[in-house]
Amino acid sequence: MGSKAGTGRVVLGVDSSTQSTKVLAVDVDSGAVLASGQAPHTVSSGAGRETDPEVWWTALRDAIGQTGEYAARAEGISVGGQQHGLVVLDAAGRPLRPALLWNDVRSAPQAAALVERHGAQWWAERFGSVPAASFTAAKWAWLTEHEPEVAAAAAAVRLPHDFLTERLGGAAVTDRGDVSGTGWWASGTETYDDGLLAEIGLDPALLPTVLGPGEEAGAVSASAGLSLRPGALVASGTGDNAAAALGLGLGPGRAVLSLGTSGTVYAVSRRRPTDASGTVAGFAAADGGWLPLACTLNCTLAVDKVAALLRLDREEVEPGGSVAFLPFLDGERTPNLPYASGLLTGLRHDTSAGQVLQAAYDGAVFALLSALDQVLAVDSAPSDQPLLLIGGGARGTAWLDTVRRLSGRAVQVPRAAELVALGAAAQAAALLTKEAPSAIALRWGTAAGALHPPLPRDDAALARLSSALPLAGAR
């Protein structure tokens, strides 16, 4: 990343994640981060996982305000947002209920029914993915079954980033990267699937227009009530993982392992994914290609919960022992075990709390690495390039060492933080420079960072976890 600059063109990149909104003011020419802002979200912790979309809008407004003079100077803005969430609006654009978030697993029965009705192969070939509880189509099916009056009253259906983009510029739009995670956008034809929409009772007129790479969503409206300059260009935005791929300037053959609230492993592909096993989701990339991806529900928050239960700092891990721990505290998406809970085996009298905590790290990373080869195989080009490790967990020594020990691969940790927001900023900058966002990110040097050599692969730990996995699915 370049040094700070104060006179050039400025864009804003937004990361509206599960837990908070982050905004970066970025210099278009150098990629220097000139200012930043952050505001928290409120997520329910009851039967499901929900957030009032107005919370996202308030957080966006507050975070933009923290960038000071740069907000008023910004010539463009783009939103990278958490995927899959179901936002239902009335005719005035107000939420009819809190949004159902990606990690709300109440829709698992509806997802299973959709798969059973047509078969996994049909879904994979038609949509690129086999729907799980996280997919928006399953959430809409849940809504129509449990809250039919809300579904009937819906005048618009949006994804989280669509909601914010529309509020910024007034256009009802989405992009192919985010819409590919709904379960109602057919990746084979790159269109909404009218047959599936009719089946789940969703009028296509309620859905936003899907923009292609590089297309504008509109311009910031004076009525938005923000400190942004009215008339600043609004990019299409995209889902958080697609935004991070843009932010890294990612090319085929290079895998990313992201450690956040969710864990993800993905790579850019030029071939359309069609994995009938459901492990690899066939998402679209924001640049026009594809983004095969595997996602876990339980990552940094799950391990932090274990550390809190043990009254340990998150870095107080200890090697050794015979414990296997699958920290599936919220059910799990990869593997597809929505009703699972945490599973701990192999306890002995001499097992220490630090060893249990290390085992929780191992279980979280194991779930991601199990899908890595399948993600890279979409392009039929297995790669031994260093893994790019990103997300909040990438800054932790215990996470870094666990990834190296269980993968046996070299790991590179980019110096640049907030890669979702940087990817969104690159997308906004592309509206001004007419370059590809990935080319802008490469020019900014966002992927540069420390390279950590591989550690000997811990096959004993992997074997313990593989043996424990069948038990996690027992009910």
Active site residues: 240
Dihedrals φ, ψ of 434, to 5°?
Answer: 65, 15
Asked whether 86 and 143 are in contact (CB, 8 A), the reply is: yes
Strand 263-267 vs strand 209-211: parallel, antiparallel, or unpaired? Answer: unpaired
Please tell me the distance from the alpha carbon of residue 282 to that of residue 273, in angstroms, as a whole number. 5
Please tell me the distance from the alpha carbon of residue 447 to that of residue 441, in angstroms, as a whole number. 8
Strand 281-284 vs strand 263-267: parallel, antiparallel, or unpaired? Answer: unpaired
Please tell me the distance from the alpha carbon of residue 167 to that of residue 220, in angstroms, as a whole number. 9
Asked whether 325 and 343 are in contact (CB, 8 A), the reply is: yes
Which runs of consecutive H residues, i.e. helices, occur in 18-135? 53-65, 69-73, 108-118, 120-127
Token pair 């983004």: residue: 291
Task: Please give the helix or strand (H or E) that residue 139 lies within, else none.
Answer: helix 136-146
Asked whether 142 and 105 are in contact (CB, 8 A), the reply is: no
Which runs of consecutive H residues, i.e. helices, occur in 209-296? 240-248
Structure tokens at 179: 């819409």
Please tell me the distance from the alpha carbon of residue 99 to that of residue 188, in angstroms, as a whole number. 28
